[in-house]
Amino acid sequence: MGAQLRAVRRRIRSVQSTAKITRAQELIASSRIIRAQQRLHAAAPYARELTRAVEAVVSLSENINHPLTRPVENPRRAAVVILTSDRGFCGGFNANLLREAQRLRGLLSERGLDSVSYVAGRKGITWHRFRQLDIAAEWSGFSDMPRQANAADVTRTLLEAYRQPADQGGVDEINIVYTEFVSMLTQRPVVRRLLPLEIRETAEVPPSGPLPSYDFEPSPEDVLNALLPWYVESRLFHALLESAASEIAARRRAMKSATDNANELVEQLSREANKARQAEITQEISEIVGGANALAEAIRE
Protein backbone atom coordinates (compact mmCIF):
# COMPACT_ATOMS: atom_id res chain seq x y z
CA MET A 1 0.00 0.00 0.00
CA GLY A 2 2.84 2.41 0.80
CA ALA A 3 4.53 1.70 -2.54
CA GLN A 4 1.31 2.55 -4.39
CA LEU A 5 0.98 5.84 -2.50
CA ARG A 6 4.57 6.79 -3.33
CA ALA A 7 4.02 6.00 -7.00
CA VAL A 8 0.90 8.17 -7.14
CA ARG A 9 2.64 11.09 -5.41
CA ARG A 10 5.59 10.78 -7.76
CA ARG A 11 3.23 10.93 -10.74
CA ILE A 12 1.47 13.98 -9.25
CA ARG A 13 4.78 15.82 -9.04
CA SER A 14 5.57 14.89 -12.64
CA VAL A 15 2.20 16.13 -13.93
CA GLN A 16 2.52 19.35 -11.91
CA SER A 17 5.93 20.00 -13.50
CA THR A 18 4.38 19.46 -16.94
CA ALA A 19 1.55 21.83 -16.09
CA LYS A 20 4.06 24.53 -15.14
CA ILE A 21 5.78 24.18 -18.53
CA THR A 22 2.55 24.28 -20.53
CA ARG A 23 1.31 27.23 -18.46
CA ALA A 24 4.52 29.12 -19.21
CA GLN A 25 4.16 28.34 -22.93
CA GLU A 26 0.56 29.58 -22.81
CA LEU A 27 1.59 32.88 -21.20
CA ILE A 28 4.38 33.39 -23.73
CA ALA A 29 2.00 32.77 -26.62
CA SER A 30 -0.57 35.13 -25.08
CA SER A 31 2.00 37.91 -24.93
CA ARG A 32 3.13 37.34 -28.53
CA ILE A 33 -0.26 37.02 -30.19
CA ILE A 34 -1.07 40.71 -29.63
CA ARG A 35 2.08 41.79 -31.44
CA ALA A 36 1.43 39.31 -34.25
CA GLN A 37 -2.07 40.70 -34.74
CA GLN A 38 -0.74 44.26 -34.73
CA ARG A 39 1.83 43.42 -37.41
CA LEU A 40 -0.87 41.75 -39.49
CA HIS A 41 -3.17 44.77 -39.26
CA ALA A 42 -0.30 47.20 -39.90
CA ALA A 43 0.61 45.45 -43.17
CA ALA A 44 -2.97 45.47 -44.47
CA PRO A 45 -3.08 49.13 -45.71
CA TYR A 46 0.09 48.70 -47.79
CA ALA A 47 -1.20 45.50 -49.38
CA ARG A 48 -4.60 47.10 -50.03
CA GLU A 49 -3.17 50.20 -51.71
CA LEU A 50 -0.72 48.16 -53.77
CA THR A 51 -3.59 45.97 -54.95
CA ARG A 52 -5.57 49.08 -55.95
CA ALA A 53 -2.58 50.41 -57.88
CA VAL A 54 -2.22 47.15 -59.80
CA GLU A 55 -5.96 47.11 -60.49
CA ALA A 56 -5.75 50.68 -61.77
CA VAL A 57 -2.88 49.86 -64.14
CA VAL A 58 -4.68 46.83 -65.47
CA SER A 59 -7.98 48.70 -65.85
CA LEU A 60 -6.43 51.66 -67.70
CA SER A 61 -4.28 49.53 -70.01
CA GLU A 62 -5.74 48.35 -73.26
CA ASN A 63 -3.69 45.18 -73.66
CA ILE A 64 -2.13 43.33 -70.76
CA ASN A 65 0.46 40.80 -71.85
CA HIS A 66 2.74 40.32 -68.86
CA PRO A 67 4.48 37.03 -67.97
CA LEU A 68 3.04 37.13 -64.44
CA THR A 69 -0.53 37.49 -65.74
CA ARG A 70 -0.34 35.29 -68.84
CA PRO A 71 -1.26 31.64 -68.17
CA VAL A 72 0.78 28.95 -69.88
CA GLU A 73 -1.19 27.13 -72.56
CA ASN A 74 -0.05 23.64 -71.58
CA PRO A 75 1.20 23.79 -67.97
CA ARG A 76 3.37 20.90 -66.84
CA ARG A 77 4.79 21.80 -63.42
CA ALA A 78 3.22 23.62 -60.48
CA ALA A 79 4.94 24.92 -57.37
CA VAL A 80 3.38 24.22 -53.98
CA VAL A 81 4.61 26.69 -51.35
CA ILE A 82 3.91 25.39 -47.84
CA LEU A 83 4.21 27.69 -44.81
CA THR A 84 4.64 25.56 -41.67
CA SER A 85 6.06 26.38 -38.23
CA ASP A 86 9.59 26.09 -36.89
CA ARG A 87 8.49 24.81 -33.47
CA GLY A 88 5.90 22.42 -32.15
CA PHE A 89 3.44 22.68 -29.23
CA CYS A 90 0.79 24.12 -31.57
CA GLY A 91 -1.75 21.32 -31.76
CA GLY A 92 -2.87 20.29 -35.23
CA PHE A 93 -1.52 23.43 -36.90
CA ASN A 94 1.08 21.67 -39.05
CA ALA A 95 -0.85 18.44 -39.51
CA ASN A 96 -3.88 20.25 -40.97
CA LEU A 97 -1.66 22.36 -43.21
CA LEU A 98 0.30 19.41 -44.59
CA ARG A 99 -2.94 17.50 -45.13
CA GLU A 100 -4.24 20.41 -47.22
CA ALA A 101 -0.99 20.44 -49.18
CA GLN A 102 -1.39 16.74 -49.92
CA ARG A 103 -4.92 17.37 -51.14
CA LEU A 104 -3.63 20.13 -53.43
CA ARG A 105 -1.01 17.79 -54.85
CA GLY A 106 -3.75 15.32 -55.64
CA LEU A 107 -5.78 17.97 -57.48
CA LEU A 108 -2.72 19.06 -59.46
CA SER A 109 -1.99 15.45 -60.35
CA GLU A 110 -5.54 15.06 -61.68
CA ARG A 111 -4.85 18.04 -63.95
CA GLY A 112 -1.69 16.36 -65.21
CA LEU A 113 0.73 18.68 -63.37
CA ASP A 114 3.84 17.65 -61.50
CA SER A 115 4.11 19.20 -58.03
CA VAL A 116 7.29 20.97 -56.93
CA SER A 117 7.53 21.63 -53.19
CA TYR A 118 8.84 24.84 -51.64
CA VAL A 119 8.71 24.54 -47.85
CA ALA A 120 9.11 27.16 -45.12
CA GLY A 121 9.37 26.00 -41.50
CA ARG A 122 11.37 23.22 -39.85
CA LYS A 123 8.30 21.08 -39.19
CA GLY A 124 7.38 20.96 -42.87
CA ILE A 125 11.01 20.35 -43.89
CA THR A 126 11.32 17.46 -41.43
CA TRP A 127 7.99 16.01 -42.61
CA HIS A 128 9.13 15.98 -46.24
CA ARG A 129 12.58 14.58 -45.46
CA PHE A 130 11.13 11.78 -43.34
CA ARG A 131 8.96 10.72 -46.29
CA GLN A 132 11.84 11.24 -48.73
CA LEU A 133 9.95 13.86 -50.73
CA ASP A 134 11.94 16.25 -52.89
CA ILE A 135 12.13 19.90 -51.85
CA ALA A 136 13.08 22.49 -54.46
CA ALA A 137 13.86 25.16 -51.83
CA GLU A 138 13.49 25.49 -48.08
CA TRP A 139 13.52 28.29 -45.52
CA SER A 140 13.37 28.28 -41.72
CA GLY A 141 13.91 30.39 -38.63
CA PHE A 142 11.21 33.03 -39.07
CA SER A 143 7.84 31.29 -38.85
CA ASP A 144 6.63 33.19 -35.76
CA MET A 145 8.33 36.52 -36.61
CA PRO A 146 8.60 36.96 -40.40
CA ARG A 147 10.30 40.00 -41.87
CA GLN A 148 9.92 41.74 -45.19
CA ALA A 149 13.39 40.47 -46.13
CA ASN A 150 12.20 36.88 -45.63
CA ALA A 151 9.27 37.44 -47.97
CA ALA A 152 11.61 39.08 -50.51
CA ASP A 153 13.95 36.08 -50.36
CA VAL A 154 11.13 33.59 -50.94
CA THR A 155 9.60 35.75 -53.70
CA ARG A 156 12.93 36.02 -55.51
CA THR A 157 13.31 32.24 -55.59
CA LEU A 158 9.73 31.69 -56.77
CA LEU A 159 9.92 34.32 -59.52
CA GLU A 160 13.18 32.86 -60.81
CA ALA A 161 11.50 29.45 -61.06
CA TYR A 162 8.41 30.95 -62.68
CA ARG A 163 10.40 32.75 -65.37
CA GLN A 164 12.16 29.54 -66.38
CA PRO A 165 10.54 27.06 -68.79
CA ALA A 166 9.20 23.88 -67.25
CA ASP A 167 11.62 21.70 -69.25
CA GLN A 168 14.52 23.62 -67.67
CA GLY A 169 13.38 23.12 -64.09
CA GLY A 170 10.93 26.02 -63.90
CA VAL A 171 7.27 26.05 -62.95
CA ASP A 172 4.15 27.17 -64.82
CA GLU A 173 2.02 27.89 -61.76
CA ILE A 174 2.60 28.84 -58.13
CA ASN A 175 0.19 27.90 -55.34
CA ILE A 176 0.63 28.77 -51.69
CA VAL A 177 -0.72 26.78 -48.75
CA TYR A 178 -0.87 28.63 -45.45
CA THR A 179 -3.07 29.02 -42.38
CA GLU A 180 -5.50 31.92 -42.42
CA PHE A 181 -6.04 33.75 -39.13
CA VAL A 182 -9.78 34.13 -38.59
CA SER A 183 -9.88 34.68 -34.84
CA MET A 184 -8.16 33.57 -31.66
CA LEU A 185 -10.23 30.40 -31.75
CA THR A 186 -10.38 29.74 -35.48
CA GLN A 187 -7.51 29.25 -37.91
CA ARG A 188 -8.01 27.37 -41.16
CA PRO A 189 -5.59 26.16 -43.85
CA VAL A 190 -6.25 27.73 -47.24
CA VAL A 191 -4.85 27.42 -50.76
CA ARG A 192 -4.27 30.47 -52.95
CA ARG A 193 -2.91 30.66 -56.47
CA LEU A 194 -0.09 33.16 -56.40
CA LEU A 195 0.86 33.09 -60.09
CA PRO A 196 -0.28 33.63 -62.75
CA LEU A 197 -2.48 36.43 -61.53
CA GLU A 198 -6.13 36.07 -62.39
CA ILE A 199 -7.59 39.05 -64.26
CA ARG A 200 -11.37 39.29 -64.49
CA GLU A 201 -13.34 41.93 -66.33
CA THR A 202 -16.25 43.42 -64.40
CA ALA A 203 -18.37 46.54 -64.48
CA GLU A 204 -18.95 46.58 -60.73
CA VAL A 205 -17.35 49.23 -58.56
CA PRO A 206 -14.69 47.77 -56.20
CA PRO A 207 -15.73 47.48 -52.53
CA SER A 208 -13.05 50.01 -51.59
CA GLY A 209 -14.49 52.61 -53.96
CA PRO A 210 -13.74 53.84 -57.49
CA LEU A 211 -10.17 53.37 -58.64
CA PRO A 212 -8.05 56.54 -58.66
CA SER A 213 -7.01 58.10 -61.94
CA TYR A 214 -3.25 57.70 -62.43
CA ASP A 215 -0.82 59.13 -64.95
CA PHE A 216 1.75 56.50 -65.83
CA GLU A 217 5.30 57.29 -66.79
CA PRO A 218 6.97 56.12 -68.90
CA SER A 219 4.13 53.67 -69.77
CA PRO A 220 1.58 51.41 -68.05
CA GLU A 221 3.57 48.36 -69.14
CA ASP A 222 6.73 49.60 -67.44
CA VAL A 223 4.81 50.50 -64.31
CA LEU A 224 3.24 47.04 -64.29
CA ASN A 225 6.66 45.45 -64.65
CA ALA A 226 7.75 47.24 -61.48
CA LEU A 227 4.53 46.76 -59.51
CA LEU A 228 3.81 43.07 -60.06
CA PRO A 229 6.92 41.70 -58.28
CA TRP A 230 6.12 43.99 -55.34
CA TYR A 231 2.53 42.82 -55.45
CA VAL A 232 3.57 39.15 -55.32
CA GLU A 233 5.98 39.89 -52.48
CA SER A 234 3.24 41.75 -50.60
CA ARG A 235 0.82 38.84 -50.92
CA LEU A 236 3.47 36.41 -49.76
CA PHE A 237 4.43 38.61 -46.80
CA HIS A 238 0.78 38.90 -45.80
CA ALA A 239 0.49 35.09 -45.93
CA LEU A 240 3.57 34.80 -43.70
CA LEU A 241 2.04 37.21 -41.19
CA GLU A 242 -1.26 35.31 -41.23
CA SER A 243 0.58 32.05 -40.71
CA ALA A 244 2.60 33.51 -37.82
CA ALA A 245 -0.50 34.82 -36.04
CA SER A 246 -2.27 31.50 -36.60
CA GLU A 247 0.70 29.53 -35.26
CA ILE A 248 0.88 31.56 -32.04
CA ALA A 249 -2.89 31.40 -31.54
CA ALA A 250 -2.87 27.63 -32.12
CA ARG A 251 0.02 27.24 -29.66
CA ARG A 252 -1.80 29.29 -27.03
CA ARG A 253 -4.95 27.21 -27.43
CA ALA A 254 -3.02 23.91 -27.37
CA MET A 255 -1.03 24.88 -24.29
CA LYS A 256 -4.15 26.05 -22.45
CA SER A 257 -5.84 22.74 -23.23
CA ALA A 258 -2.74 20.85 -22.06
CA THR A 259 -2.63 22.86 -18.82
CA ASP A 260 -6.32 22.24 -18.14
CA ASN A 261 -5.89 18.52 -18.80
CA ALA A 262 -2.86 18.39 -16.49
CA ASN A 263 -4.78 20.12 -13.70
CA GLU A 264 -7.66 17.68 -14.09
CA LEU A 265 -5.23 14.77 -13.98
CA VAL A 266 -3.64 16.17 -10.81
CA GLU A 267 -7.09 16.30 -9.20
CA GLN A 268 -7.77 12.69 -10.16
CA LEU A 269 -4.39 11.54 -8.89
CA SER A 270 -4.89 13.51 -5.68
CA ARG A 271 -8.13 11.65 -5.08
CA GLU A 272 -6.33 8.37 -5.72
CA ALA A 273 -3.59 9.38 -3.29
CA ASN A 274 -6.17 10.31 -0.66
CA LYS A 275 -7.90 6.96 -1.12
CA ALA A 276 -4.60 5.11 -0.85
CA ARG A 277 -3.65 7.12 2.24
CA GLN A 278 -7.06 6.51 3.80
CA ALA A 279 -6.76 2.80 3.13
CA GLU A 280 -3.29 2.82 4.68
CA ILE A 281 -4.59 4.60 7.79
CA THR A 282 -7.53 2.22 8.04
CA GLN A 283 -5.19 -0.76 7.81
CA GLU A 284 -2.93 0.67 10.52
CA ILE A 285 -5.92 1.26 12.80
CA SER A 286 -7.15 -2.27 12.16
CA GLU A 287 -3.74 -3.68 13.03
CA ILE A 288 -3.59 -1.61 16.24
CA VAL A 289 -7.09 -2.66 17.28
CA GLY A 290 -6.35 -6.28 16.44
CA GLY A 291 -3.13 -6.20 18.45
CA ALA A 292 -4.88 -4.59 21.43
CA ASN A 293 -7.64 -7.22 21.39
CA ALA A 294 -5.09 -10.03 21.21
CA LEU A 295 -3.16 -8.52 24.14
CA ALA A 296 -6.33 -8.16 26.20
CA GLU A 297 -7.31 -11.78 25.58
CA ALA A 298 -3.81 -12.93 26.56
CA ILE A 299 -4.02 -11.01 29.84
CA ARG A 300 -7.43 -12.52 30.66
CA GLU A 301 -6.09 -15.98 30.13
Question: How does pLDDT run across 137-165, given as a tens digit for each residue?
Answer: 999 999 989 999 999 999 999 999 998 88
Alpha helix stretches (DSSP H) within the chain:
2-60, 93-110, 122-130, 148-163, 220-300
With bands split at pLDDT 50, 70 and 90, how would you rate the model's confidence at 60?
A: low
Pairing of strands 187-195, 173-181: antiparallel
Choose the catalytic residue: 90, 161, 248, 266: 90
Domains identified in the chain and CATH numbers: 64-214+231-250 (3.40.1380.10)
* Confidence check: pLDDT of 61 > 70: no
DSSP letter at 161 equals: H
Question: How does pLDDT run across 228-280, given as a tens digit for each residue?
Answer: 888 889 999 999 999 999 999 999 999 999 999 989 988 888 888 788 777 77
119 included as an active-site residue: no
Average pLDDT of span 47-70: 71
CA angle (102 as vertex; 193, 39 as ends), nearest 5: 50
Q: How far apart are the C-alpha atoms of 78 and 55, rounded to whole Å?
A: 25
Alpha-carbon 6 to chain mean position: 42
